Amino acid sequence: MEYTDVLIIGGGFGGLTAAGLLSRAGKSVTLLEASNEWGGSAGKFRRGDYIYPVGATLGLGFQEPHGLHYRVFNHLGIPQPEKTLLTTVMDVHSAGFSIRVHADMDTHIQHLCRVFPEISDRIQDFYRLVAKTGDIFLSLLKKAPVMPPKTWRDWKSLLASADGRAAALVPYYRKTVTQVLGQFQLDKHYGFMQYINGQLLDSMQASADEAAALLGLYGLAIYHQGSHYMKGGLYRSAESLAAAVKTNGGQAVKRRTIEKIYRNNGRWEAVDKRGRLFAAQDLVLNVPVQALPSLMSDADFTAMGGKWQKRSRTSIWSAFSMYGTLTEAPADTPLFQQIMWGPENAFEKEHMFVSLSEEKDTLRAPGRERTFTVSTHTSPERWKNKASYDEQKQQTLEELKQILLAQTGWSGALTSLLPGAPHAWEHYIHRPDGMVGGFPQTSRYALFNSLSHRTNLPGLWMCGDSVFPGGSTMAVTMSGIHVYESITGSRFYKEEQI
């Protein structure tokens, strides 16, 4: 049996952040990852000379000095990852418009007004609120407050994080983004709503009709607070965090699949599929809540309480992905694109996100070749029929390929294309039913209604996209910070000031 102060299961950004901070604080830490790669949904896979990011690709939270990733790397004393600050975040295409999302907020607003001149005054008014919300949230996040607050310390932290401006956002707490847009008479404009929905689906996993207004407004602002192309991919940041764990005396081990966890005489024990036993005073689960019923004993899972049990039965979005290689691409090709279509190509949420490697990023592809990742939302229920799974996978690949090539004109340069259907996500990064991205940021699941990193069982903690603040590498990093603070009694932002 291997005993450690803290055992962490799952090497996504949440688990890696918790492991890095805890090991630096002097805790003995063992981090176990079931797959071959660090980073979880922001990891990578290799085919010959080519590397493909499996999911998350756009670098948010790496800006100096307030970006959360930047702060964690700085705190751990490890080099900041190689990256390029984007002046154009992405291009957005639909049948009715093409929009260039400029990193500079004022430039972006001016561009939107040119695309939709008939509603330009209302767009300016709405985006003033977006910018204001983004500034307030950025200030709040500096102190990484815990939600939902469960202790006096949590409440104290939350109140201390808020400044006087936060009171102006209170009227929007129970609203959806669509309701806020209605105040500006923008909710009936089809083209503008299509654009907003695409942005929110990628950042909040919810449309404007569903997304909680406060988080949705922040989701529209976040692209303008520092968006980066990450050289090689986000997986390199994950590998740096794993290396930091080892530098600080911890263990970080891949290909260790934990099959069961249980309490025994006041400590937590875990057994992997080869029968190896691990024990710790504190156990951190960087896994989806949907994985808990099979991982925990019936008694322990019952003790988690009704909220955790209900969420474990809640189905969320899965992803269908495509991974491709190009001989080359025009120099002005945007690195990130959103492509939207109408019901004539009725594939669920009617949009895809495309990320292309930077020219001469030889960490991704040799010479002038480029690799790309495409992802779109899909329901896990759509893929339950095993008899039709392979046929459906090929049909979906072909449908999305035609949409992609029609918009990008990459037909002549495309040399390979691989599908990534939900079962691949389940097999390679151990996401139940291939579900990724966390719960949609709706009033039902967000803020005070989110799951906490604290569980109802002593010494058991959660991080990752199932708990506050949700999906994205930046959000799960914050959940890792919360775990670190709860185990050590330290405050991350105060230590930064030392």
Convert the pLDDT of each residue in 449-479 to its tens digit.
999 999 999 999 999 999 999 889 999 999 9
pLDDT of residue 169: 87
Would you call 414 exposed, middle or buried from its count of C-beta atoms within 10 A (0-12, 13-18, 19+)? middle
The kind and range of the H/E element at 480 are helix 473-488
Measured N-to-C along each axis, helices 68-76 and 473-488 cross at an angle, to the nearest 10 degrees, of 50
Question: Which has the minimum average pLDDT: 107-116, 323-332, 344-353?
Answer: 344-353
Backbone angles phi, psi at 380, to 5 degrees: -60, -30
Tell me if residue 366 falls in helix, strand or coil.
coil
Confidence of residue 344 (pLDDT cuts 50, 70, 90): low
Mean pLDDT of 366-377: 95
Tell me if residue 309 falls in helix, strand or coil.
helix
pLDDT at 345 over 90: no
Mean pLDDT of 301-308: 96
Confidence of residue 487 (pLDDT cuts 50, 70, 90): very high
The kind and range of the H/E element at 60 are strand 58-60
Contact (Cβ atoms closer than 8 angstroms) between residue 283 and residue 271: no
Length of the chain counted residue by residue? 498
pLDDT at 129 over 80: yes
Contact (Cβ atoms closer than 8 angstroms) between residue 352 and residue 31: no
Confidence of residue 157 (pLDDT cuts 50, 70, 90): confident
CA distance 178 to 170: 17
Name the more confident of 152 and 104.
104
pLDDT at 360 over 70: yes
Confidence of residue 76 (pLDDT cuts 50, 70, 90): very high
Please state the separation of Cα 469 from the chain's center in Å. 10
pLDDT at 139 over 90: no
pLDDT of residue 439: 94
pLDDT of residue 414: 96
pLDDT of residue 211: 96
Confidence of residue 489 (pLDDT cuts 50, 70, 90): very high
For the segment 411-421, what is each residue's pLDDT rounded down to a tens digit? 999 999 999 99
Q: What is the mean pLDDT of the chain?
A: 93
pLDDT at 333 over 90: yes
Mean pLDDT of 362-383: 95
Question: Which has the minimum average pLDDT: 86-100, 304-318, 423-437?
Answer: 423-437
pLDDT of residue 343: 59
For the segment 17-64, what is each residue's pLDDT rounded down to a tens digit? 999 999 999 999 999 999 999 999 999 999 999 999 998 789 999 999
Confidence of residue 347 (pLDDT cuts 50, 70, 90): low
CA distance 193 to 336: 20
pTM: 0.95
Percent of the chain with pLDDT over 70: 98
pLDDT of residue 349: 60
95: number of CA atoms within 13 Å, CB side?
A: 8
For the segment 424-455, what is each residue's pLDDT rounded down to a tens digit? 999 888 899 999 999 999 999 999 999 999 99
pLDDT at 497 over 80: no
Contact (Cβ atoms closer than 8 angstroms) between residue 234 and residue 227: no
417: number of CA atoms within 13 Å, CB side?
A: 19
Contact (Cβ atoms closer than 8 angstroms) between residue 259 and residue 271: yes
- 123 to 5, 177, 233: CA distances (angstroms): 53, 14, 34
In this structure, what token pair is assigned to residue 417? Answer: 């294309």
Confidence of residue 154 (pLDDT cuts 50, 70, 90): confident
pLDDT at 362 over 90: yes
pLDDT at 256 over 70: yes
Burial letters 447-478, b for 16+ CB under 10 A, else e? beebbbbbbebebbbbbbbbbbbbbbbbbbbb
